[in-house]
Amino acid sequence: MQCSIRKFYYGDIPEEQGGGAAPSESMNEHGWPLWEVFIRSKQGLDHKHAGSLHAADARMAIENARDVYTRRQEGISIWVVESKNIHASDPGDAESLFEPAADKIYRHPTFYDLPDEVKHM
Amino acid sequence: MPVHHLEETFQQTVDAEIKIEAKDWMPEAYRKTNLRQISQHAHSEVVGMLPEGNWITRAPSLKRKAILIAKVQDEAGHGLYLYSAAETLGMSRDQMIADLHSGKAKYSSIFNYPTLTWADMGAIGWLVDGAAILNQVMLCRTSYGPYARAMVRICKEESFHQRQGFEALLVLSKGTQEQRAMCQDAINRWWWPSLMMFGPRDSESTNSDQSMKWKIKRKTNDELRQNFVDMIAQQVKLLGMTLPDPDLKWNEARGHYDFGEINWDEFWNVVKGNGPCNRQRLQARINAHEEGAWVREAAVAYAQKQSAKQKKVA
């Protein structure tokens, strides 16, 4: 006999098992846009993507980023960019974009055999 | 490309331990499972602030108060990391919050138990966060990239939560008769609900488990629960306290502790909304959201005004 009991995990209670009301109609959007946060962890290093958050404007985004992403001295500088202004390459194009670099081993210094006498080059 | 090819490629990617990113093709069920799990995890962090928030004003010293505030603030942060990760799967933050408030989305049942004494702060850190960490360490290697990255960040911060809890109990365990009794009482009340955090037994599942196949999860509920029991059964000795389970016994042959049966009726009852604090917790979240509405609106109005002003100058 086919038995189809679904398994679920911590933090993953299936909807049909729960009590509560029926799904409500969608709430009004509060109108705070999404921002991407970049943090420079110390002087001399690049800003690195840390995550995202919602905020009404850039100043609030920086203040919130301070509280959300740097509670343990993770940063000394913050950039925020509204997520809608980030343009990304399409994962579907990854092959055509990045494949051509794969067979150009002559771009790497180790491709060249030089006599030992040359020492450092 | 036909869907079954895409699914094959997807599974090969997962099998090769390559993370799935937000814009990659993924089966609809993978997206939905992750969305449900990550958003429920986020809700758990946010609702999880309530039982502890209850004790911030009553912490026994300034040091303990500062620690508790920092811990609760971390939980707010963890909720935000996770909401962001869930949003990459195409559901708005507002929708997730609406689902929490309507009861459609769940959160961990552990937070539907009351925090009756100061010792509960210790027991929550040690047992509840201890149980959560086992799950979270595993999730650092989950197949969905944004979830895995959020978990790495969370795990770095979570260790302090468990340590401060154990240390708070350690102090009580060396205290007066009353303090020792308070410590034992908190352990007694939090032990079984902590074991329930790992979810139903593995035997209640089919053999082919999609979440394991997709590497969303990497250990079963029973494996994680056993790890937890083995760890806590040792640590409780350092407190000079006991766990409220007469069947708890080291099993030489298995190399693990045996333990008694969980009250599953209680588990399902709390999941279904009938735990000691379900209504209170949800109502507190709804109130916070509704009473904060004017702040959110004011922030938008201010941002619009500033932006209009800047345009005028330019």
Using pLDDT thresholds of 50, 70 and 90, give the confidence band for residue A90. confident
Residue-wise pLDDT tens digits, A13-67: 554 444 433 333 333 456 799 999 999 999 999 999 999 999 999 999 999 999 9
Q: Pairing mode, if any, of strands A34-40 and A77-82?
A: antiparallel
- Range B87-91, long-range pairs (CB < 8 A, 24+ positions): B87/A34, B87/A52, B88/B22, B88/B146, B89/B22, B89/B31, B89/B34, B89/B35, B89/B38, B90/B31, B90/B35, B91/B35, B91/B39
For the segment A78-85, the average pLDDT, to the nearest whole number, is 96
Residue-wise pLDDT tens digits, B101-121: 999 999 999 999 999 999 999
In sign, the C-alpha dihedral spanning B241, B166, B233, B130 is positive
For chain A, the residues whose C-beta falls within 8 A of a C-beta of chain B are 3-15, 17-24, 26-32, 34, 51-54, 56-57, 60, 67-68, 71-72, 88, 90-92
B39 CB neighbours in chain A (<8 A) are none
SS (H, E, C) chain B: CCHHHHHHHHHHHHHCCCCECCCCCCCHHHHHHHHHHHHHHHHHHHHCHHHHHCCHHHCCCHHHHHHHHHHHHHHHHHHHHHHHHHHCCCCCHHHHHHHHHHCCCCCCHHHHCCCCCCHHHHHHHHHHHHHHHHHHHHHCCCCEHHHHHHHHHHHHHHHHHHHHHHHHHHHHHCCCHHHHHHHHHHHHHHHHHHHHCCCCCHHHCCCCCHHHHCCCCCCCHHHHHHHHHHHHHHHHHHHCCCCCCCCCEEECCCCEEECCCCCHHHHHHHHHHHCCCHHHHHHHHHHHHHHCHHHHHHHHHHHHHHHHHHHHHC
* Res. A75: pLDDT tops 90: yes
pLDDT value, residue A29: 54
pLDDT value, residue B1: 65
- Are A7 and B74 in contact (CB < 8 Å)? no
Single-letter amino acid, residue B151: M
**Measured over all CA atoms, what is the biggest interatomic distance in chain A, rounded to whole angstroms?**
80
CATH classification for the domain delimited by A23-88, as one of 3.40.250.10, 3.20.20.70, 3.30.450.40, 3.10.20.520:
3.10.20.520
Mutate to test the interface with A, among B91, B99, B157, B216 (most CBs of A within 10 A): B99
Among the ranges given (A25-29, A84-88, B47-51, B187-191), the one the predictor scored with the smallest mean pLDDT: A25-29
User: What is the C-alpha to C-alpha distance for residues A12 and B37, in angstroms, rounded to an integer?
Assistant: 5
What are the distances in angstroms from CA B35 to CA B131, B155, B180? 22, 20, 43
User: What is the C-alpha to C-alpha distance for residues B108 and A71, in angstroms, rounded to an integer?
Assistant: 25
Residue-wise pLDDT tens digits, B18-63: 999 998 999 999 999 999 999 999 999 999 999 999 999 999 999 9
The structure tokens listed for B292 are: 């904060």
User: What is the C-alpha to C-alpha distance for residues B211 and B143, in angstroms, rounded to an integer?
Assistant: 10
Q: Which of A93, A18, A76 is nearest to B274 (CA)?
A: A18
Q: Which of B136, B167, B116 is nearest to B42 (CA)?
A: B136
Using pLDDT thresholds of 50, 70 and 90, give the confidence band for residue B204. confident
* Res. B165: pLDDT tops 50: yes
CB B181 within 8 Å of CB B173: no
CB B129 within 8 Å of CB B162: yes
User: What is the C-alpha to C-alpha distance for residues B46 and B78, in angstroms, rounded to an integer?
Assistant: 8
pLDDT value, residue A6: 43
B20 alpha carbon, distance to own chain's centre: 23
The reply to whether B219 touches chain A by the CB within 8 Å rule is no
The residue in chain A having the minimum alpha-carbon distance to the alpha carbon of residue B152 is A50
Regarding predicted confidence, which is higher, B211 or A22? B211
User: What is the C-alpha to C-alpha distance for residues A72 and B141, in angstroms, rounded to an integer?
Assistant: 23
- Are A8 and B95 in contact (CB < 8 Å)? no
User: What is the C-alpha to C-alpha distance for residues B215 and B139, in angstroms, rounded to an integer?
Assistant: 9
Average pLDDT of chain B is: 94
For the segment B139-164, the average pLDDT, to the nearest whole number, is 95
User: What is the C-alpha to C-alpha distance for residues A92 and A76, in angstroms, rounded to an integer?
Assistant: 36
For the segment B240-261, the average pLDDT, to the nearest whole number, is 97
What's the start-to-end Cα distance of chain A, in Å? 71
Distance from CA of A113 to the nearest CA of B (A): 34
Using pLDDT thresholds of 50, 70 and 90, give the confidence band for residue B265. very high
* Res. A78: pLDDT tops 50: yes
Q: Rounded to two decimals, what is the model's pTM?
A: 0.88
Q: Which of B170, B163, B165 is nearest to B239 (CA)?
A: B170
Distance from CA of B86 to the nearest CA of A (A): 11
B197 alpha carbon, distance to own chain's centre: 9
pLDDT value, residue A119: 87
* Res. B296: pLDDT tops 90: yes
User: What is the C-alpha to C-alpha distance for residues B246 and B158, in angstroms, rounded to an integer?
Assistant: 31
Class of residue A32 by CB neighbours under 10 A (exposed 0-12, middle 13-18, buried 19+)? buried
